[in-house]
A and B are shown apart, each in its own frame.
Chain A
Amino acid sequence: MKELPAEIDYWLRSKLPAAQVSSSSFRGQSRVCVDRPNIWESLRALRDDAGFDMLFELTAVDYLEYEGARDRFGIVYGLLSIDTGKRLIVKTFVNEPDLVLPTVTDLWKSADWMEREVYDMFGIVFTGHPNLKRLLLPTEFTSFPLRKDYPVKGRGERHNFPIITRAES
């Protein structure tokens, strides 16, 4: 079992020599950032060889106008080892023209709805997902409301309903 993020960092580098890996730690929380082409392989290695057998969280962050951010979206995978109770945060970044990531539903079944929610709210497409459609919002919704450039009051979706008058009802 790998303990410190630096150890996981070193171990991942040895497993995947092509991957760009960086690691950090904050208040006892271990984080590892992996570049996008190697994210699926890294997660598979962490599941099969490092014992992280549960995906407890999968979400995304929009870093638009965030101070010091270089990438638009960060995808956050929260891994848990049930045997040891260790947790690890794995992050990767995608940018505007192609918001595409490989799905991890083949690694963890629990990623199914979480990837659908990330697609629903941020518009990030997970290739290979068995059923990638909107989870929470209505199917006719066209925008991705958790993006920072989406107005809080929406683009008029909440007013786009038929008006029933008393005479016709």
Chain B
Amino acid sequence: MASPMNSPGVPSGLGENVLLTKLDDVANWARANSLWPMPFATACCGIELMATASSRFDLSRFGAEVMRFTPRQCDLMIVAGRVVMKMLPVLQRIWLQMPEPKWCISMGACACSGGVFDTYAVVQGVDRFLPVDIYVPGCPPRPEQLIQAVLDLQSRIKSGGTFTGKEFSLRILPEGPPRFEPDEIQRFQDRNELDLKRPTYTPEH
């Protein structure tokens, strides 16, 4: 991030003691190396999350071991496990309570897509209602995968972060999957008072 000042005009001897950098880079360096996760562990992925933080896998090697159970002290939400209908408002509220800058890791098949729980009560992926930065596949993922996700997030923060958080304010669109399920389409129509007929397929041959 830094280079010695050895341009002409600089007093000799100063170059070894002064680093030149940008404010964005300092902020990114500090943010990436001190991620404080909010463990939103609702299911068996939470066990892997605990294993990741404990001594065998030791997430603290990457500066992300300080799990805080209040969202006001966290900047990385790790959604580990399935999220049901009654839990989603809680999740959204916790996300809104986290201070900026903040990131979200969706860990495991259930948090990413609902997994095998394709039922009326389980939300089919938290990214439908929350902005997710990194997805971790697996059922449940290995701790190494979660560590890789944290490393990916770190490199992402270091490469694209800004001091003022400009990159967040550009993400104004929902980032989840496109709405494709019949009940979602129906609800969309009802909400917008549309009456779209589903296209009927007639084979030519």
Q: Mark A130-153, 1 if CB is under 8 A from B, else 0.
A: 000000011001000100001111
Binds B, one of A3-11, A53-61, A155-163: A155-163
Does B172 make an interface contact (CB < 8 A)? Answer: yes
Does A18 make an interface contact (CB < 8 A)? Answer: no
A155 to B176 Cα, complex, angstroms:
20
In chain B, positions 131-179 with a C-beta closer than 8 Å to chain A are 131, 168-176, 179
Q: Are A138 and B85 in contact (CB under 8 A)?
A: yes
Q: Chain B nearest CB: distance from A92 CB in Å?
A: 28
Does B6 make an interface contact (CB < 8 A)? Answer: no
Closest to B114 in A: A158
| Partner of B187 from A151, A153, A156 at Cβ < 8 Å | A156
Q: Chain B nearest CB: distance from A115 CB in Å?
A: 21
Q: Are B184 and A157 in contact (CB under 8 A)?
A: no
Does B21 make an interface contact (CB < 8 A)? Answer: no
Does A166 make an interface contact (CB < 8 A)? Answer: yes
Does A14 make an interface contact (CB < 8 A)? Answer: no
A165 to B176 Cα, complex, angstroms:
10
A152 to B128 Cα, complex, angstroms:
20
A155 to B88 Cα, complex, angstroms:
17
Does A169 make an interface contact (CB < 8 A)? Answer: yes
| Partner of A162 from B92, B123, B175 at Cβ < 8 Å | B92
A138 to B86 Cα, complex, angstroms:
6
Closest to B84 in A: A158
Q: Mark A108-119, 1 if CB is under 8 A from B, else 0.
A: 000000000000
Closest to B176 in A: A163
Q: Are B171 and A167 in contact (CB under 8 A)?
A: yes
A156 to B186 Cα, complex, angstroms:
8
Does B1 make an interface contact (CB < 8 A)? Answer: no
Q: Are A158 and B95 in contact (CB under 8 A)?
A: no
Q: Are B168 and A162 in contact (CB under 8 A)?
A: no
Closest to B171 in A: A166
A158 to B170 Cα, complex, angstroms:
28
| Partner of A152 from B95, B118, B175 at Cβ < 8 Å | B118
With A154-B121, A165-B173 as contacts: A159 and B184 at CB distance below 8 Å = yes
Q: Which residues of A contact B184 (CB under 8 A)?
A: 156, 159
Q: Chain A nearest CB: distance from B130 CB in Å?
A: 6
Does B29 make an interface contact (CB < 8 A)? Answer: no
Q: Are B85 and A157 in contact (CB under 8 A)?
A: yes
Q: Are A163 and B128 in contact (CB under 8 A)?
A: yes
Q: Are B124 and A158 in contact (CB under 8 A)?
A: yes
Q: Are B85 and A169 in contact (CB under 8 A)?
A: no
Known pairs A161-B129, A164-B129 / 14 extra A-B pairs, C-beta < 8 Å: A153-B181, A153-B183, A154-B120, A156-B184, A158-B123, A161-B123, A162-B92, A164-B92, A164-B96, A164-B131, A165-B172, A166-B131, A169-B130, A169-B131
The 5 closest A-B pairs by CB, nearest first: A154-B120, A166-B171, A166-B131, A156-B183, A156-B187
Q: Which residues of B contact A (CB under 8 A)?
A: 85-86, 88-89, 92, 95-96, 118-124, 128-131, 168-176, 179, 181, 183-184, 186-187
Q: Which residues of A contact B (CB under 8 A)?
A: 137-138, 141, 145, 150-169
